[in-house]
Amino acid sequence: MNHRLYFTVLCVIGTLLLACKKDTPTIEDDSYTLAIPIGFPTPSIPEDNQLTKSRIALGKKLFFDTSLSRDSSVSCASCHKPSLAFADDEAFSLGVENRLGVRNSVSLANVAYQENLLREGGVPTLEQQVLVPIQDHNEFDFNMVLLVERLSKDSVYVTLSQQAYDREMSAFVISRALAAFQRTLLSGNSPYDQYFFQNQSNALNESEIRGLNLFNSDALNCSKCHSDFNFTNEDFTNNGLYEIYADSGRIRLTGLEEDRGIFKVPSLRNVALTAPYMHDGSMNTLEEIIVHYQSGGKNHENKSPLIQGFTITDSEKEDLVNFLKSLTDQEFIQNPAFQQE
């Protein structure tokens, strides 16, 4: 090939490439790569809701928008605050008209990995979970049809919806966009992660390391339930909180007596930020929780045999609390991508 021809061919190819690029700018610009923390597995993401920048942006806008509630007074973020690792600091959160909910809000950190949502595990996907607060009398007290109607009057939503899912605002779009945003809420850069997954031996001090060893010990059993990278085995169990439960837990879902007083094992990530604790917010401090496990808890027919009680000195308690505090991930709670705009 002579030089001139070669040059012409290159120009033609170049023009074609540019032309292609011009036709499909959104696809290229919209791609999003989830920043998975070191040592974490890849969460599964539904085929019909792959992450894109515009889907996440729409989900984020919805998450912080009070117009999702009937009287436009509360948003998802009212009960899932970024500064508190997407939990809140009430025993029971307040919904519209300050109505008191029936459970303690949970942190949404790493919710992408949760296979069974809510404390009795009755909801399988983040997409489906979105309906719960929207319809719940004590939360948004609204309904999807009216919500779609309301948001369809907002030109910003109309445009974002087309960009993100190539369709009009709908239940499909609202539920998927909120799920997409929540899947980005990954927390895995606490001092514990730096020590354990990133080989930074100075990230934990001696007391925190002693606490970690106690947490993993056969005497305390904590890591038998609060296990793996997300500090939960995803199981449902009874940790001896009460003899008689006002909130009967998983039996509400299954109707089985063996599920009375049974709740999901919560993740302990960012646990220093998510007080009060347990399904009913009945414990206020990490120290109180250790005293509870130390005593072996209340007798309940479904109590796990792993809750036996143990002896522990005051300085060991301090070590264990220090370790639990090392699960706080400052980068996560300060991440600009997760703050209200």
**Footprint of ligand HEC (CB under 6 A):** 68, 74, 76, 78-80, 93, 95, 101, 103, 105-106, 108, 111, 114, 117-119, 126, 129-130, 133-134, 139, 178, 220-222, 224-226, 237, 239, 241, 263, 265-266, 268, 271, 274, 277-279, 286, 289-290, 293, 304, 306-307
Q: Which is nearer to ligand HEC, 127 or 193 (CB)?
A: 127
Sign of dihedral through CA atoms 306, 124, 339, 63? negative
User: Would you say 221 and 306 are in contact if contact means Cβ atoms under 8 Å apart?
Assistant: yes
State how far the Cα of 265 lies from the Cα of 307, in Å rounded to an integer. Answer: 13
- 3-class SS shares of the chain: helix, strand, coil, % to 5: 45, 5, 50
**Residue entry with tokens 């087309």:** 162
How distant is the alpha carbon of residue 142 from its chain centre? 23
Shortest distance in whole angstroms from residue 31 CB to ligand HEC: 24
Shortest distance in whole angstroms from residue 177 CB to ligand HEC: 10
State how far the Cα of 137 lies from the Cα of 296, in Å rounded to an integer. Answer: 37
> Residues, the chain, total?
341
What the block records as the tokens of 33 is: 């790569």
Q: Which is nearer to ligand HEC, 189 or 267 (CB)?
A: 267
Q: For residue 163, give every residue at least 6 positions away whose Cβ sits within 8 Å of its Cβ, in sequence order, or none.
A: 26, 30, 54, 58
Q: Which is nearer to ligand HEC, 27 or 248 (CB)?
A: 248
Shortest distance in whole angstroms from residue 325 CB to ligand HEC: 11
Shortest distance in whole angstroms from residue 37 CB to ligand HEC: 18
Shortest distance in whole angstroms from residue 231 CB to ligand HEC: 9
Q: Which is nearer to ligand HEC, 114 or 326 (CB)?
A: 114
Q: Which is nearer to ligand HEC, 144 or 158 (CB)?
A: 144
Which of these, 244, 199, 221, lies nearest to 294 by C-alpha position? 221
Shortest distance in whole angstroms from residue 42 CB to ligand HEC: 19
Torsional class of 227: left (φ above 0), alpha (ψ -120 to 50), beta (otherwise): beta
**Residue 191 CA: distances (Å) to CA of 34, 45, 112, 320:** 21, 28, 22, 15
Q: Which is nearer to ligand HEC, 108 or 333 (CB)?
A: 108
Q: Which is nearer to ligand HEC, 28 or 257 (CB)?
A: 257
Q: Which is nearer to ligand HEC, 117 or 333 (CB)?
A: 117
Torsional class of 52: left (φ above 0), alpha (ψ -120 to 50), beta (otherwise): beta
Shortest distance in whole angstroms from residue 93 CB to ligand HEC: 4
H/E stretch holding 323 reads: helix 314-325
Shortest distance in whole angstroms from residue 171 CB to ligand HEC: 12
